[in-house]
């Protein structure tokens, strides 16, 4: 029997004793567009119909039920209460009522989902309705002005509250619903502006979240103009598209044409805020599809293109690379596997309404990610709605899982570099005067000091938990792989309210990609709170990454180190470490100074070659910390439970206040000890220069010569008249050239090649070529924001 809305409200208001099931989304009146879309919104929260006996669904249902039931049992129902839970008191505090709404949403989702212990329970329904009234009366209502963190008032609380109203809509009294909608209308009148700072236009993920809130408010109130306001908000109709989610930006927040995503003006944030934008925009597109308010902006292709430009390169077997997660790396309940699964779910959600060609590729990619990640199965990371979508993809024999993505990606607009091979991937986290070295605040990312100083992440298909298994609370934060650091003691970051970033003064951070396969990157390190300065470069080839450092100097009387590796060996790992053919002790606490090491190998990780020898230091240690050590946030604080992990660390000790120190090492991810030893002897890649003028390598097998020029110079016949990155490959009768100015300081860069060129096969419009015995390329690098310019010659 179909209840009218008014009959359902009357029954709920009368406190009917019988078990009450939620109004099914499928029962929405066909001629009522609001009811139809609200039923769709409910299904987005519950997953609709599914087989509760299916093992995967049963596990997800149990997880939902366990958490919801625990929170339901612990609700304070005493007279005179000022909060719903003791740990979230008082409910007048924005962080407390914000989290309270989120807990209530979990309980309501379990109540509205078939197969839980709370499903349709009349007592649970009555408790939810009563709890909402309490939060409204003492916490979130139209009489209050914003205080504390704006996010709870304008996104956190209203998003959860609108979801609650969707789930409980046929049982809310008209008075209560009107009160909740009025409160949300006050704090989120539109998606365009920050309510507590009306001159600030919303951008990126925040705009997307607010658009969903406004849309749900419009549907719940039956206000067509409000729903249209939400739709128009993601396109920024108000400001003629200036902050549209469907346009490429060239500065500030949003998607960049090179695949970068930035939020908070200066932070590389693909893995969290970028994914939130993708999820919220995708949800709104799916919610309004086929209605009078459907999203028809042709610019939505920017969102479609972002899946493969922005997200796919930084997902490794479904794991989101930490270099793109900002301060979220410190969140115990949101590790790289979790954020990766969220991104995959958001991609599959978008696929439901995308053109077929896009959707087919995305589903194939997602199937590959899901099937390859066996360490933390996807089904254990997502809720029922996302699981239902994924199971359909995995079960479809017509969808063939895509292989791992390979290639070299320079995200010049966010100072990140990703190099991908069939069995492994490497990510470089760089920083400059344009992109922050770290973001911290609101108690998050307390030890993020060096995460943007060239930190090097190596992902291996055989160990997907290297950075997700208790890494951040236990790793030595002064010895992050790839970084050159001053060993001074640091104080915790981000202990005050609000978030803040640190942008160093250096201009150079980035590099060039050649043919999407090889790359070179560089960063000038100007350390925070120290006189430490260094010039760092990386050269990414088929099976190796060469790292060079020079001009390392400091004058503060402290030791300077460059960290080659600091590998998480997990709770009980003791893989063999071999140096120059000699197996080193496996005892915890072992350390050694290896004065002239030529190569090393760590079982299960790969090899390391040292072209210039030592002095290399090595250490095995067992470290204990807690997630609370790195995150004390109001709603993200880690537990104080001790976490212990083992590490193998290799580093160069440059001594106290070095004046002209340098280093050279080669990473061989996944290589065997035999291969590493052979590589060390044969030197298939030669270091041509490691000086303050130029850092360069050559590989004769590939016909490759790669250099970063810090100033005008010449190396092996390749010259440049100023700073820039140059890669040249000469093979099979052709010559490929890639050039970039990662410092963004030049207008043109003139490059001379060391061999003759007869003709130009293809060249970017920005590249002029003068063929001949010593060909000259004149590259218009000005205004290109550090992006690569290329040419094919014969």
Express each pLDDT in 466-495 by its tens digit: 999 999 999 999 999 999 999 999 999 999
Cα gap 569→182, rounded to integer Å = 53
569 and 622 in contact (C-beta within 8 Å)? no
Q: Any idea which residue has 């236009």 for tokens?
A: 201
- Nearest by Cα to 547 from 683, 652, 664: 664
Q: What percentage of the chain carries pLDDT values higher than 70?
A: 96
Residue with tokens 């080193």: 584
The answer to whether 511 and 410 have CB atoms below 8 angstroms apart is yes
> Is the bond leading into 386 cis (omega within 30 degrees of zero)?
no
Angle, helices 157-167/122-138, rounded to nearest 10 degrees: 150
Task: For the chain, state the CA radius of gyration.
Answer: 28
User: Using an 8 Å Cβ cutoff, are 350 and 303 in contact?
Assistant: yes
Q: Which residue's structure tokens are 């009349």?
A: 122
Residue 439 near residue 267 (C-beta atoms within 8 A) = yes
Q: What local confidence, expressed as pLDDT, does residue 4 receive?
A: 28
Long-range contacts of 391-398 (CB under 8 A, 24+ apart): 391/54, 391/56, 393/348, 393/363, 393/366, 393/367, 394/367, 394/370, 396/363
pLDDT at 25 > cutoff 90 = no
pLDDT of residue 615: 86
Q: Is the pLDDT of residue 766 over 50?
A: yes
Name residues whose C-beta falls within 8 Å of residue 432's C-beta, 6 or more positions apart in sequence.
415, 503, 504, 506, 507, 508, 509, 510, 523
Tokens of 256: 């960049």
> Cβ distance 640 to 628 under 8 Å?
yes
Q: How far, in Å, CA of 177 to CA of 165, rounded?
A: 7
Helix (H, G, I), strand (E, B) or coil at 88: helix
What's the DSSP call for residue 15?
A: T
Bridge partner list, 534: 525
Burial class (CB in 10 A: 0-12, 13-18, 19+), 230: buried
Residue pair 118/68 in contact (Cβ under 8 Å)? The answer is yes
Task: Return the exposure string of 612-622: e unless at least 16 CB atoms fall within 10 Å of the residue's CB, then b.
Answer: eeeebbbbbbe
CB 498 within 8 A of CB 442: yes
Name the residue among 406, 321, 324, 400 with its Cα closest to residue 366.
400
Please check the confidence at residue 613 and state whether its pLDDT lies above 70.
Answer: yes
* Token pair belonging to 531: 């006189």
**Where residue 30 falls among pLDDT bands split at 50, 70, 90?**
low
Q: What is the mean pLDDT of residues 498-517?
A: 96
- Residue 740 DSSP SS3: strand
User: With 90 as the cut, is the pLDDT of residue 9 above it?
Assistant: no
Centroid of chain to Cα 708: 28
- The alpha carbon of residue 18 and the mean position of all alpha carbons in its chain are separated, in whole angstroms, by 46
In order of 157, 624, 659, the CA distances from 549 in angstroms are: 48, 31, 13
What average pLDDT score do residues 418-440 get?
98
Rounded Cα gap, residues 115 and 138, in angstroms: 33
- What span, in angstroms and rounded, lies between the C-alpha atoms of 214 and 225? 10
Task: Answer whether 378's CB lies under 8 Å from 319's CB.
Answer: no
Which residues are the active-site residues? 206, 264, 273
13 pLDDT higher than 60: no
User: Tokens representing 650?
Assistant: 């290799």
For residue 579, pLDDT beyond 80: yes
Q: What percent of the chain has pLDDT over 90?
A: 95
* Longest CA pairwise span in the chain (Å): 93
What is the spatial distance between Cα 332 and Cα 320, in angstroms, rounded to a whole number?
15
Instruction: Please give the backbone phi and psi of residue 43, each rounded to the nearest 5 degrees, phi first.
Output: -65, -30
**Residue 2 pLDDT more than 90?**
no
- Dump pLDDT digits (tens) for 89-107: 999 999 999 999 999 999 9
- The tens digit of pLDDT for each residue in 296-310 reads 999 999 999 999 999
- 426 pLDDT band, cuts 50/70/90, is very high
Question: Burial, 587: exposed, middle or buried (Cβ in 10 Å; 0-12, 13-18, 19+)?
Answer: exposed
- Please tell me the pTM assigned to this model: 0.94
Q: Which residue has the tokens 């000038």?
A: 524
Q: Where would I find the H helices in 258-335?
A: 275-288, 301-306
Q: What is the pLDDT of residue 497?
A: 85
Long-range contacts, stretch 236-240, CB < 8 angstroms, 24+ apart = 236/192, 236/201, 236/207, 238/190, 238/192, 239/192, 239/201
426 vs 545: CA distance, rounded Å: 9
Distance CA 618, CA 610 (A): 13
For the chain, the average pLDDT equals 95
* C-alpha closest to that of 332 among 446, 165, 459, 229: 446
Q: Which two tokens stand for residue 36?
A: 């139809």
Q: What is the pLDDT of residue 29?
A: 59
| Residue 568 near residue 471, CB atoms below 8 Å | yes
Torsion of CA 693, 662, 427, 631, to 10 degrees: -120
Structure confidence at residue 28 as a pLDDT band (50, 70, 90): low
Q: How confident is the model at residue 496, as a pLDDT? A: 87
Bridge-based pairing of strands 509-514 and 518-526 is antiparallel
With beta carbons less than 8 A apart as the criterion, state whether 526 and 504 touch: yes
- For 448, half-sphere exposure in the C-beta direction (CA atoms, 13 angstrom radius) is 29
Quick one: tokens of 178? 């009107």
Helix ranges, 373-460 (H): 384-395
CA distances from 339 to 122, 173, 241, 303 (A): 35, 37, 29, 19
pLDDT at 71 over 90: yes
Cβ proximity of 348 and 370 under 8 Å: no
DSSP 8-state secondary structure symbol assigned to residue 428: E
Neighbours of 179 (CB within 10 A): 18
Lowest mean pLDDT among 29-33, 362-366, 426-430: 29-33
SS3 617: strand
What is the C-alpha separation between 540 and 780, in angstroms, rounded? 25
Q: What single DSSP character describes residue 30?
A: T
């Amino acid at each position: 029997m179909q209840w009218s809305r008014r009959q359902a409200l009357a029954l709920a208001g009368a406190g009917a004793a019988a078990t009450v099931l939620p109004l099914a989304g499928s029962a929405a009146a066909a001629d009522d567009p609001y009811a139809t879309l609200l039923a769709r919104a409910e299904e987005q929260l519950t997953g609709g119909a599914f087989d509760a006996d299916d093992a995967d669904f049963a596990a997800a249902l149990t997880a939902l039920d366990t958490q919801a039931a625990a929170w339901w049992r612990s609700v304070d129902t005493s007279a005179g209460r000022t909060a719903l839970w003791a740990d979230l008191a008082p409910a007048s505090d924005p962080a407390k009522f914000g989290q309270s709404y989120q807990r209530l949403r979990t309980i309501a989702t379990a109540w509205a989902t078939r197969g839980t212990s709370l499903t349709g329970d009349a007592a649970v329904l009555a408790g939810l309705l009563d709890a909402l009234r309490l939060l409204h009366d003492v916490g979130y209502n139209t009489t209050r002005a914003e205080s504390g963190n704006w996010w709870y008032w304008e996104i956190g609380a209203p998003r959860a509250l609108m979801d609650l109203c969707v789930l409980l809509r046929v049982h809310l009294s008209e008075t209560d619903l009107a009160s909740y909608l009025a409160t949300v209308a006050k704090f989120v009148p539109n998606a365009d502006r920050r309510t507590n700072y009306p001159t600030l236009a919303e951008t990126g993920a925040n705009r997307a979240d607010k658009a969903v809130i406004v849309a749900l408010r419009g549907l719940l109130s039956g206000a067509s103009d409000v729903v249209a306001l939400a739709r128009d908000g993601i396109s920024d109709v108000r400001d003629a598209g200036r902050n549209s989610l469907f346009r490429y930006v060239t500065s500030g927040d949003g998607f960049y044409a090179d695949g970068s995503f930035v939020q908070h003006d200066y932070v590389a944030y693909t893995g969290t805020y970028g994914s939130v934008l993708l999820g919220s925009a995708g949800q709104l597109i799916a919610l309004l599809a086929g209605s009078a308010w459907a999203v028809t902006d042709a610019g939505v292709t920017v969102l479609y293109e972002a899946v493969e430009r922005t997200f796919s390169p930084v997902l490794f077997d479904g794991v989101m690379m930490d270099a793109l997660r900002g301060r979220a790396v410190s969140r115990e309940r949101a590790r790289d596997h979790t954020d990766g699964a969220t991104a995959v779910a958001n991609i599959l959600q978008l696929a439901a309404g995308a053109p077929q060609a896009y959707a087919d590729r995305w589903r194939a990619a997602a199937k590959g990610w899901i099937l390859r990640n066996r360490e933390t199965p996807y089904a254990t990371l997502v809720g029922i709605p996302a699981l239902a979508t994924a199971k359909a993809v995995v079960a479809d024999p017509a969808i063939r899982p895509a292989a791992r993505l390979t290639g070299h990606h320079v995200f010049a607009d966010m100072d990140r570099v990703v190099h991908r091979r069939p069995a492994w991937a490497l990510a470089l986290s760089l920083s400059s005067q344009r992109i922050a070295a770290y973001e911290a605040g609101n108690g998050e990312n307390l030890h993020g000091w060096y995460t943007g100083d060239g930190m090097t992440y190596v992902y291996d298909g055989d160990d997907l938990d290297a950075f997700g298994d208790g890494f951040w609370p236990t790793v030595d934060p002064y010895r992050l792989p790839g970084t050159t650091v001053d060993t001074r003691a640091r104080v915790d970051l981000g202990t005050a309210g609000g978030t803040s970033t640190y942008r160093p003064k250096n201009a150079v951070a980035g590099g060039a990609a050649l043919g999407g396969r090889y790359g070179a990157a560089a960063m000038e390190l100007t350390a925070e709170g120290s006189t430490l300065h260094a010039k760092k470069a990386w050269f990414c080839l088929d099976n190796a990454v060469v790292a060079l450092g020079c001009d390392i100097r400091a004058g503060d009387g402290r030791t300077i180190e460059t960290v080659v590796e600091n590998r998480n060996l997990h709770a009980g790992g003791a893989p063999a470490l071999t140096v120059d053919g000699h197996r080193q002790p496996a005892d915890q606490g072992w350390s050694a100074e290896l004065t002239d090491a030529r190569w090393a190998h760590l079982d299960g990780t790969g090899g390391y070659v040292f072209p210039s020898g030592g002095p290399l230091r090595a250490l095995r240690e067992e470290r204990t910390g807690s997630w609370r050590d790195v995150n004390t946030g109001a709603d993200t604080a880690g537990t104080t439970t001790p976490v212990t992990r083992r590490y193998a660390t290799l580093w160069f000790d440059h001594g106290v206040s070095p004046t002209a120190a340098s280093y050279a090492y080669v990473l061989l991810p996944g290589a065997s000890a035999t291969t590493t030893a052979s590589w060390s002897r044969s030197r298939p890649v030669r270091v041509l220069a490691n000086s303050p003028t130029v850092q360069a390598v050559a590989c004769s097998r590939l016909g490759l010569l790669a250099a970063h020029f810090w100033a005008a110079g010449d190396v092996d016949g390749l010259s440049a008249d100023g700073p820039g990155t140059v890669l040249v490959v000469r093979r099979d009768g052709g010559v490929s050239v890639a050039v970039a100015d990662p410092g963004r300081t030049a207008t043109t860069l003139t490059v001379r090649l060391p061999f003759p060129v007869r003709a130009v096969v293809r060249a970017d419009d920005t590249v002029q070529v003068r063929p001949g015995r010593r060909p000259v390329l004149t590259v218009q690098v000005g205004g290109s924001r550090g992006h690569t310019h290329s040419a094919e010659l014969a």
